[in-house]
Every structure is written in structure tokens, then in C-alpha cells.
């Protein structure tokens, strides 16, 4: 059996009387793309905060590459190769695409070769023609790709992506999904993705879990999870389950 690069065991977090996550367990294997889905308030972002070390759990453990990192800081986890993106990441609007990539490559350890690696990354991500454009002049979808490229420059082993398609057009979402697949293949990065765009997830993910009110209600392949009655009920209501069953009978 392949050992999980990321293993979460019975992770629970409460804020006052609100249970953000309840006994969440998850195994993520190397080089796979694993999705976390659920309606607003399901506990997805809190789960990412727990994995990234920005919030400490009340119970449970987070293991990365066989090491218990439950008590380690976000910086320590990042140094190990566990990097977390943010849905509303802010980039300096006056900086050019190339400036951002040079800075990211330098932080990723490229040193004196930061310029050369930045130019290579710009070509790989299809951003070479936009290298001298300020971030403020880019479309939302292109900014997402710049953010993704900057995260990859940090040389992560596992990258947590928080709703990468938020606020972008469908055509740009399709491009983003392709870019994520290409990154996984080219860099060997493992992804855990929070996302609401189910068609994109179905096209790029190997497995997924569904959360509701902090608990896992389904897990499996994208097809298995999307067909699960509890997931359909969570997203669409009880009537949708009844209609789906009547249509299949």
C-alpha cells in the first residue's frame, strides 16, 4: 500500500460552541490531486488552516511525509514543502509579472539564478508575453495563474489551493484546470484543492471528500462522491434526491 504524503487523523476544531471540523480524517497520496468540497460553512477553509498550521486543532493530528507536524508553525511546514495558497491573495498591483516571479524564485531558494528561473517559469506558464505587464493590468484568470506560478516557485511538495477559480470566467477556469494538470505532471506536485467548480474538479481530481457542518459525509472518486445521496442533499436539498431516484427507476 502506498504511504500517504499527508495524513489527517480525527482532526477537530471548535470556535466557542461552533464545531468547524469534527473528526475529519484524510489520506493524500503523492502526485495525486485531492479535492475538498462542501457548501459554505462546511469547514473547508478551517481544514486548510489546520493543515497549514495557521490554526491549532482541539484534537487530532496532521502528519506530513511521515512526520507529525501538528505543533509546527506555518513557516516550518512551508520549509518542509507544504505550501498553502489563499483565495484572496494580494499581489502588489504595480509589480510586473516578472518582478513577482523573480521574488518568488528567490524565496524558493534560486538565489543568484532567480532571474533565469523566473524567465523559464514565465515560459512554462504561458506568461512570457505578459512579463512586463503590471499585475493590475491582468485579467482575474491570468492573475490566478501568476499566483499559482509563484506558489510553484516555492518548490512545494504538496500545495493547498483554496478556490483557485473564484471570480474568473468559465473559459479561464478550463485553462486553469489544464495548467494544474500540467504542473502536477511537470513538477510532481501533490495538490489538495478546495473548489466549487465541479466540472473542473471532475476533470483534474483523483479523489475527493465532501464536508457538511464540519464532518465528512462522503469520500471516493469524483463520480462516486457526486452521486452520493448525502452530497446531493447537502447541495440541492432532499427533493433533489427523490427526483434523482424516481428518474432512475
Identify the pLDDT of residue 237.
65
pLDDT at position 89 over 80: no
In angstroms, the CA 230 to CA 222 distance is 14
Residue 147's pLDDT is 87
Please tell me the number of Cα atoms within 13 Å of 213 on its side-chain side.
Answer: 4
Q: What share of the chain is helix, strand, coil (3-state, %, to 5)?
A: 45, 25, 30
Q: Strand ranges (DSSP E) for the chain?
A: 4-15, 18-29, 33-37, 59-64, 67-68, 82-84, 158-162, 190-194, 207-212, 215-220
What confidence tens digit (pLDDT) does each residue in 183-218 have? 898 889 999 999 888 888 999 999 999 999 999 999
Cell of 123: 515560459
pLDDT digits (tens, 9 = 90+) for 14-34: 998 899 999 999 999 999 999
Domain boundaries along the sequence of the chain: 4-92+155-248
User: Rounded to the nearest 10 degrees, how much is the dihedral formed by the CA atoms of 117, 97, 175, 77?
Assistant: 60
Q: Give the number of residues written for the chain.
A: 249
User: 225: which 3 cell numbers?
Assistant: 462522491
pLDDT of residue 14: 95
The residue among 3 and 242 whose pLDDT is bigger is 3
Across the chain, what does the average pLDDT equal?
88
| pLDDT for 144 beyond 60 | yes
The more confidently predicted of residues 87 and 103 is 103
Which pLDDT band holds residue 87 (cuts at 50, 70, 90)?
A: low
From residue 13, give the alpha-carbon distance in Å to each of 23, 44, 107, 129, 179: 9, 12, 32, 45, 33
- Return the CATH architecture of domain 4-92+155-248: 3-Layer(aba) Sandwich (3.40)
Amino acid at each position: 500500500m502506498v504511504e500517504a504524503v499527508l495524513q489527517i487523523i480525527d482532526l477537530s476544531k471548535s470556535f466557542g460552541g461552533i464545531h468547524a471540523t469534527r473528526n475529519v480524517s484524510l489520506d493524500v497520496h503523492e502526485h495525486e490531486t485531492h479535492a475538498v468540497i462542501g457548501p459554505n460553512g462546511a469547514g473547508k477553509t478551517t481544514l486548510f488552516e489546520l493543515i497549514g498550521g495557521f490554526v491549532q486543532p482541539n484534537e487530532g493530528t496532521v502528519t506530513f511525509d511521515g512526520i507529525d507536524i501538528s505543533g509546527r508553525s506555518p513557516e516550518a511546514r512551508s520549509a518542509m514543502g507544504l505550501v498553502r495558497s489563499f483565495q484572496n491573495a494580494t499581489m502588489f498591483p504595480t509589480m510586473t509579472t516578472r518582478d513577482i516571479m523573480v521574488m518568488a524564485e528567490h524565496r524558493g531558494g534560486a538565489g543568484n539564478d532567480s532571474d533565469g528561473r523566473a524567465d523559464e517559469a514565465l515560459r512554462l506558464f504561458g506568461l512570457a508575453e505578459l512579463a512586463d505587464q503590471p499585475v493590475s493590468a491582468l485579467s482575474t484568470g491570468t492573475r490566478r495563474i501568476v499566483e499559482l506560478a509563484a506558489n510553484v516557485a516555492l518548490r512545494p511538495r504538496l500545495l493547498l489551493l483554496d478556490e483557485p477559480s473564484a471570480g474568473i470566467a468559465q473559459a479561464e477556469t478550463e485553462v486553469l484546470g489544464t495548467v494544474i494538470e500540467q504542473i502536477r505532471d511537470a513538477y510532481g506536485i501533490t495538490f489538495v484543492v478546495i473548489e466549487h467548480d465541479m466540472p473542473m474538479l471532475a476533470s483534474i481530481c483523483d479523489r475527493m471528500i465532501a464536508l457538511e457542518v464540519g464532518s465528512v459525509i462522503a469520500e471516493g472518486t469524483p463520480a462516486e462522491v457526486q452521486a452520493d445521496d448525502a452530497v446531493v442533499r447537502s447541495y440541492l436539498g432532499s427533493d433533489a434526491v427523490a427526483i434523482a431516484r424516481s428518474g432512475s427507476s
